[in-house]
Amino acid sequence: MAETLERLTRRTETMQSIRGIVRTMKTMSAINAAPYERAADAIDAWRDTVLNGLHAFLQVTGPLVQDSPSETRSILVVMGSDHGLCGNYNEVIATETLRHISPGQKVRILCVGAQMEDALLGEGIVPEVTLLPPANVDGLNRLADELVTRLDAMREDQPVTLIYTRRAAHGRQAPVAQQLLPLDEEVLVNLAARPWVSRSLPKFSLPEPALLAALVRNLLFATVQRAAAEALMTENAARLARMQQAEQSVDERLEDLQSETRSVRQSEITTELLDVIVGFEALKARDKRKRSPVQ
């Protein structure tokens, strides 16, 4: 009985330690998500500025005509997690990536995150290169710059698609495939059709090809950086949800262990009391036999 009580006590202490770890992870996930959300808002403002610059360019030069992308080759940029404890976060993105690979199509994969690489390999998809995701908000610039530089070196007429997870309605998350190149035709048409509201006409001194290249590069940079911030927000949200579930499970197990410990302790106390009562009755019977006269 004493060994059982000792074992239950050890298990309770272990579960309490696990609960402390889970609570710490939950707190860190909630704290880490906030800076990326603020960064996403700032990137949105910057992207709007770049789009305004592209709008001014189109007002001067007229609508853009883009080359038709190749149908046999493509580039996929897949953003996932570098750490675990976030459920099937990477597996869902890997499944979405598989949907964008057609039979016979030559696809080059740029992967972000070691856990994401494992999920892609599990689907039979081999990344060409795996990059480290940002460790903090400052790392968003580093990742976006590295990805855009690699895309500049890799792309010819290949379409480029960005796959990551973003927030959905009612606090949910959903994988999304966003076209990077060629530029979204609908966005370009809307920009070209939008009236110019300023009192002065747009004017620039740079050669048109150089200015267009700078605008497109900055637009790609902002789009990739915004996607990275969104991916890290959803990753931390997924980890927070898992830690909340784990905390609830640990609390339930702790209640069971504490209840079992109380029951075992009560049984032990009852046994000890019975031993005392039996001993007392035995001594009482012995004294009674000693006092009784010998016939």
Rounded to two decimals, the pTM is 0.82
The region, left, alpha or beta by phi > 0 then psi within -120 to 50, assigned to residue 179 is beta
Q: Can you give the pLDDT at residue 111?
A: 96
Would you say residue 43 lies in a domain? Answer: yes
Does residue 153 contact residue 75 with C-beta atoms inside 8 Å? no
Would you say residue 146 lies in a domain? Answer: yes
Would you say residue 182 lies in a domain? Answer: yes
Does residue 235 contact residue 86 with C-beta atoms inside 8 Å? yes
The region, left, alpha or beta by phi > 0 then psi within -120 to 50, assigned to residue 113 is left
- Is pLDDT at 8 greater than 90 in this prediction? no
Look at the chain and report how many structural domains it folds into.
Answer: 1
CA end-to-end distance (rounded Å), the chain: 46
CATH number for the domain harbouring residue 158: 3.40.1380.10
Domain ranges, residue 207: 25-239
Question: Considering only CA atoms, which of 68, 56, 75 is closest in space to residue 214?
Answer: 56
Per-residue model confidence as pLDDT tens digits over 136-151: 999 999 999 999 999 9
DSSP state of 166: E
Would you say residue 216 lies in a domain? Answer: yes
The set of long-range contacts for 174-178, using a CB threshold of 8 Å and a minimum separation of 24, is: 175/92, 175/93, 175/95, 175/96, 177/96, 177/100, 178/223, 178/227
Q: Can you give the pLDDT at residue 292?
A: 67
- Mean pLDDT value across residues 248-263: 88
Would you say residue 115 lies in a domain? Answer: yes
Per-residue model confidence as pLDDT tens digits over 214-242: 999 999 999 999 999 999 999 998 888 88
- Is pLDDT at 294 greater than 60 in this prediction? no
